[in-house]
Amino acid sequence: MREIVLDTETTGLNPHDTPRHRIVEIGAVELWNQVPTGKTYHQYINPERDMPNEAFEVHGIGNEFLADKPVFAQIAQAFLDFVGDAKMVIHNAEFDMRFLNAELEWASHRTLPNDQALDTLKIARRRFPGSPASLDALCRRFGIDNSAREKHGALLDSEILAEVYLELTGGKQPDFALAQVQTHQSQGTQDASWRPSPRPAPLSPRLTDKEKAAHAAFVEKLGDDAIWSRFG
């Protein structure tokens, strides 16, 4: 199963404000059967507007740095090609999906269905009700090193989120041979090399006659009401 752990950085909180807030960075990490493949997507984007100081304080991405970067319409298809139909793992998915789909719509590209996103914030709140569920809080809970996260950054945050997601779902130990078995079955192959074969001869009893007699005497002492007396 292919999954894309994804994060964005933006100029603000709502793409439909006036003036529009825009995406300035996308970072994504590919997982295959919940194991990182090493394949990533990373893109800075010119938002075609000034960067508000409040947003700059969060991610440190400024106007001068973004001036020569492509606009979203120029990278939209490459982004869609990378994501494909994979499940997108996003912390607070509603926020990122709202921005991504606004940008895709403005660029006259297909939008992404909301059910293609898996929200790790909701997973964390279900698992740890009443506890902080920010990315930093989850890193502290799981002992994940986030010391490099002085400011928000889409690629770094997606890499950290991938570790958090694996901890949340127990994905650090993939199903190994079971995945191979399912592949054989789904493809209709008859390779039975993985199947355990029966023992050529049954194992001999391990109980001695003396131990059997001692057990029978113990059960007899329990009387007729003992559950063992119902089976023979």
For 13, the token pair is 């909180």
Contacts of 49 (CB under 8 A, 6+ apart): 11, 19, 20, 22
The single residue of 59, 91, 152, 215 carrying the catalytic annotation is: 152
Distance between CA atoms of residues 177 and 160, nearest Å: 27
C-alpha dist (Å) from residue 208 to 198, 214, 218, 228: 25, 10, 16, 20
Three-class SS state of 40: strand
Distance between CA atoms of residues 198 and 138, nearest Å: 46
| 152 classed as catalytic | yes
Catalytic residues: 152
